[in-house]
Structure 1
Amino acid sequence: MTFLVLALAGIIGIILGLVGAGGAIIAVPILVYLMGIDQSVASGYALFTIAIASAVGAVPYVRRHEVYWTAVYSFGSVALVTTGMVRRFVVPMIPQSFIVAGDRVTDDTFLMIAFALMMFIAAIGMIRAGTGSETREPAPASRLAIAGFVVGLLSAVLGVGGGFLIVPALVLWSGIDMKRAVGTSLVLISANSTIGVLADMTSGMDYDWSFLLTFTGLMSAGILVGARLSRHIDGQRLKTGFGWLVLCIGTIVVSLEFWKLVIAIVE
């Protein structure tokens, strides 16, 4: 089982290096369901591995000048501040459950379904964008800041903050070509994840360093492979592939949450 998990770490890295997304949302279920790690601990492990692997994977993009630094500063700073403020002051006011058609639905289920719907919207947009042109001019800093605010808001409310939100925002809203969006996303993901790791460490979280460093090393190797492969894949194909990947994962999320609702109603 451990061998399978470590092999999957490399695959996650390749996906992350190719499309700038897919790290946490794939890594957490693997750690939870295959390794039997508690969800909260798995989230911390995923943050650690992604912080390092994304930084490693960003290096080839930086060398190829495929990181849009204006977006890193304008988009990233606004997203980070917005996420922190909303998590601190707004999220605590969200009810822990909702009444839907006479049945009580937990906030976790509601937020996961909302997250899946956002994934569907992003997926359709990216698939359609894959048939268009890559010649658009990048958006000005003001528009990047607006995109950062929206992503920060969604990240805080939905409890996610990776490339599944960042890449579509950069490509669809900000007009950045796909390869620069991937490089920019890796830099932003690494920065955001590092902040999360530091918060976990100051709170006294324990790590299984032997497993974690091995998992991180294989993911980092995979992300370098993905970054190298991206040089030989057209940006439009990457957009389409990203869209289908997000669509598949969104469908899985909705199916699982719907099944949980059915079981809850039957019981």
Structure 2
Amino acid sequence: MLTSLILGAFVGAVLGLTGAGGGILAVPALVAGMGWPMQEATPVALVAVAGSAAIGALEAFRLRLVRYRAALLMAVVGVPLTSLGALLAHAIPQRVLLALFATVMLAVAGRLLSQALRRGRPDRAHSRFCVGHINPNTGRLVWSWTTGIALAATGALTGLMTGLLGVGGGFIIVPMLRKVTNVSMHGIVATSLMVIALVGSGGVVATVLHGAPLPLELTLWFGLATAAGMVAGRLASHRLSAQHVQVGFGGVLICVALGLMAKAALGR
């Protein structure tokens, strides 16, 4: 139990420091710390990440930052895809899953480090792929078929990766919404948290239905430690440079990814 508390506090602290994307460390932490296969770590990690995301989403909802219609569309499309992801996770060999997870982590680390290096430089006004625009008069998202399709595709990919790898999906949702909408960054992160909470909950159900065990007592302690760590991480984040946090998080992801690659290569 002590190990699960330490791991949960670590994952929560990273979540608090980095936002929605920090949940990507939950599964590797359980795989390395508890010696579990990925399929066993997935539902426990998702309970903690989805619960923490729900807390953040409720706070953001109170501040009227959540684009709840967009979040609901992504969740409606994404939740059924978690079942397909869980099915694939049980069909794919453990070594391949570890290598795939490590590849995803390296891609996320590369994007974070690239953003940190560009910090301070002027950004382009909007992405050329932007199809969802905010009406300046109402402050609401203007809906169209292309907007709906872009958001649905984002939700589908999020659901698939949630069921397959046990990740919250913030590393998918945030960059995708930045590409396809001109919603503010605060609104994107808030909306991402709501999607993670909903799709992550669906992912827990899907993975359990596909045979993954869910030790209730350990899951409870891991989840509580994650929530406590997240609060501490948020408090610490106000005193740290966002650029330094990004660089540090990117470095941690690279180290963990290399460890997973080694584990996959050695077959342990």
The corresponding residue for 1:118 is 107
Normalising to structure 2: TM-score of the pair?
0.69
> For 1:139-218, what aligned pairs fall within 5 Å after superposition?
139-140=132-133, 141=143, 142-143=146-147, 145-146=149-150, 148-150=152-154, 152-153=156-157, 156=160, 159=165, 160-203=167-210, 205-218=212-225
The corresponding residue for 1:41 is 40
Partners of 2:102 and 2:260 within 8 A in 1: no
The corresponding residue for 2:257 is 253
The corresponding residue for 2:139 is none
The corresponding residue for 1:72 is 71
Decide whether aligned partners of structure 1 residues 152 and 203 sit closer, same or farther in structure 2, where only a CA change above 3 A counts: closer
Note the C-alpha offset of 1:188.
Answer: 0.8
Partners of 1:122 and 1:168 within 8 A in 2: no
The corresponding residue for 2:140 is none
Identity %: 24
> For 1:74-93, what aligned pairs fall within 5 Å after superposition?
74-80=73-79, 83=81, 87=85
Decide whether aligned partners of structure 1 residues 4 and 251 sit closer, same or farther in structure 2, where only a CA change above 3 A counts: closer
Decide whether aligned partners of structure 1 residues 182 and 11 sit closer, same or farther in structure 2, where only a CA change above 3 A counts: farther
Note the C-alpha offset of 1:72.
Answer: 0.8
Deviations 1:195-216 (A, max 9, x none): 1222244456543322221221
Partners of 1:135 and 1:177 within 8 A in 2: no
2:228 matched to 1:221?
yes
The corresponding residue for 2:21 is 21
Note the C-alpha offset of 1:172.
Answer: 4.5
SS at match of 2:107: helix
RMSD: 4.0
Note the C-alpha offset of 1:29.
Answer: 2.3
Partners of 2:16 and 2:231 within 8 A in 1: yes
Distance in 1 between the 2:43 and 2:86 partners?
Answer: 19
Distance in 2 between the 1:250 and 1:174 partners?
Answer: 29
SS at match of 2:64: coil
Partners of 1:130 and 1:240 within 8 A in 2: no
Partners of 2:86 and 2:207 within 8 A in 1: no
Deviations 1:205-245 (A, max 9, x none): 54332222122122223334555666x589xx647734652
Amino acid in structure 2 at the alignment position of 1:53:
S
Note the C-alpha offset of 1:46.
Answer: 0.9
Decide whether aligned partners of structure 1 residues 240 and 145 sit closer, same or farther in structure 2, where only a CA change above 3 A counts: farther
Q: Which runs of 5+ in 1 are unaligned?
A: 98-105
Note the C-alpha offset of 1:192.
Answer: 0.8
Normalising to structure 1: TM-score of the pair?
0.69
Decide whether aligned partners of structure 1 residues 171 and 126 sit closer, same or farther in structure 2, where only a CA change above 3 A counts: farther
